[in-house]
Amino acid sequence: MKKRSPSFLVILLVVALFTVSFFAVGIDEVKVYAPVKIMIPDGMSSDVVTLSRWYNGGKALNLDRIASGLVRTYSSDAPIADSAPAATAIATGFKS
């Protein structure tokens, strides 16, 4: 096996450093995003939200300004989903 000369390794190192610095992104170009908060209330249905609006005098709730969705959950071995298996199914996509 041939020994490589130190000058070859230095040239390779310089080329690698310039390549990395060429593709690097400057700090001023990085976009900072706000963290995403996901709220999963336990046992909340559309009836509870409607009752909250009535209690609020018919005014819109803060919940109405954000994107929201409903998911029907059920357990893999019971007719009623408990909180822990439902949260596991929502988080992982697999029923337990």
Note the pLDDT tens digit of each residue in 31-58: 777 887 766 677 677 888 888 899 999 9
Residue 21 counted as domain residue: yes
Residue 1 counted as domain residue: no
Residue 55 counted as domain residue: yes
Decide: 73 and 92 in contact? Cβ < 8 Å. no
Residue 10, domain extent: 6-92
**Domain count of the fold of the chain:** 1
Query: HEC states along 30-93?
Result: CCCCCCCCCCCCCCCCHHHHHHHHHHCCCCCCHHHHCCCCCCCCCCCCCCCCCHHHHHHHHHHC
Structure tokens at 31: 């976009």
Q: Higher-confidence residue: 40 or 92?
A: 92
Report the pLDDT value the prediction gives residue 22, as an integer from 0 to 100. 60
* Confidence (pTM): 0.40
